Amino acid sequence: MSRQVKVRVWRGDKNEGGLKDFDVEVNEGEVVLDIIHRIQATQAPDLAVRWNCKAGKCGSCSAEVNGRPRLMCLTRMNTFGPDETITVTPLRTFPVIRDLVTDVSFNYKKAREIPAFEGPKGLKLGEYRMSQVDVERSQEFRKCIECFLCQDVCHVIRDHEENKESFAGPRFFIRLAELDMHPLDTLDRRREAQEEHGLGFCNITKCCTEVCPEHIRITDNAIIPMKERVADVKYDPARWLGSKISRREERD
């Protein structure tokens, strides 16, 4: 059952590095992360890689496999040709720390810039009421496992360090959309999406949706609706207030 494959892994740190070749055994059902672990256990014990659950649930083992942003734990080895060389490199959008590990602190910084959920005042514990259809829209975005593959692939920041300051990226557009569509959130998220987080930079190429391991429809269900609402409400707070009130009446 087992066979040998050629794997090229980027090794190095912020100063220097390059691709290193390994010949590795592959067994039935294995994924790229198994192969990286085998290299660690048998050939390069200090090979740095992030991983946790190995089940596509934590979003830690993000890397680029043959140039494509992937979770290594969900990339099956049998999806490659028998003689294909597999190249594994760190996420390009973020600075390298060591080997396959990058500095993703950009994302944690952006997370802090989005005001938290602000629920209605005066409700006691257990008094929240929301209907299933209403929570489902936001629930789709809360499936996000923060693997940051969408951030990695996004061309606004992938090769444009200069845009990082004013652009939060797809992960945080779905966070904004999630809060905006939360049936009980009381803040207006739209103007800040445009003005603070750079929603306007996105020209909906849908690369983020394509790489999302959770199959969240980032562009169609979050970014485009947010863009439409931003256009709707732009500089007209009265209309925003009206829309919130009418939504609430529909619910009741």
Partner 1 sequence: MTEIERHPYDVVVIGAGGAGLRAAVEARASGLRTAIICKSLFGKAHTVMAEGGIAASMGNVNSKDNWQVHFRDTLRGGKFLNNYRMAELHAKESPDRVWELETWGALFDRTPEGKISQRNFGGHEYPRLAHVGDRTGLELIRTMQQAIVSLQQKDAKEFGDAEARIKVFAETTITEIIVNDGVVAGALGYTRESGRFILFEAPAVIIATGGIGKSFKITSNSWEGTGDGQALALKAGSRLVDMEFMQFHPTGMIWPPSVRGLLVTESVRGDGGVLTNSEGRRFMFDYIPAVFKEMYADNEEEGDRWYKDQENNRRPPELLPRDEVARAINSEVKAGRGSPHGGVFLDVSKRLPADVIKKKLPSMWHQFMELADVDITKTAMEVGPTAHYVMGGILVDPDTGAADNVNGLFAAGEVAGGLHGSNRLGGNSLSDLLVFGRRAGAGAVAYVNALGDARTAAPDAEVERAVKEALAPFKNDGGENPYTLHQELQQTTNDLVGIIRTADELQASIGRLAELRSRLSKVTVEGNIQFNPGWHLALDLGNMLLVSECIAKSALMREESRGGHTRDDFPKMSSEWRKVNLVSKATDSGVSVEKRPLPKMPPELISLFEIDELKKYLTEEELTELKGSHS
Q: Find, among 61, 176, 51, the residue nearest to 111 by Cα.
A: 176
Stretch that binds partner 1, among 83-91, 144-152, 199-207, 224-232 (CB under 8 A): 144-152
Q: Is 150 in the site for partner 1 (CB under 8 A)?
A: no
Q: Are strands 62-65 and 68-71 parallel, antiparallel or unpaired?
A: antiparallel
* Choices 143-151, 188-196, 226-234, 240-248; region in contact with partner 1 by CB under 8 A: 143-151
- Min dist CB 197 to partner 1, Å, is 15
Closest of 2, 5, 1 to residue 82, by C-alpha: 5
H-run or E-run covering 238: helix 237-251
238: contact with partner 1 by CB under 8 A: no
Q: How many Å from the N-terminal Cα to the C-terminal Cα in the chain?
A: 61
**Beta bridge mates, 5:** 24
- Choosing from 74, 87, 92, 243, the residue that interacts with partner 1 (CB under 8 A) is 74
Only segment of 30-38, 164-172, 196-204, 230-238 that touches partner 1 (CB under 8 A): 30-38
Site mask for partner 1 (CB under 8 A), range 197-236, x = bound: ----------------------------------------
Partnered with residue 62 across adjacent β-strands are: 71
139, 166, 186, 205: which one binds partner 1 (CB under 8 A): 139
Which residues, in sequence order, are CB contacts of 15 under 8 Å at separation 6+?
none
Distances (CA, A) of 201 to 21, 194, 223: 39, 9, 11
- Minimum CB distance to partner 1 smaller for 152 or for 185: 185
Q: Which is nearer to partner 1, 160 or 248 (CB)?
A: 248
DSSP label at residue 56: S
According to the binding rule CB under 8 A, does residue 34 interact with partner 1?
A: yes
- Which of 151, 156, 189 shows the shortest CA–CA distance to 170? 151
Contacts with partner 1, residue ranges (CB under 8 A): 13, 27-31, 34, 40-42, 45-60, 74, 76, 97-99, 101, 103-104, 108, 111-112, 115-117, 119, 123, 125-126, 128-132, 135, 138-139, 142-146, 179, 182, 185
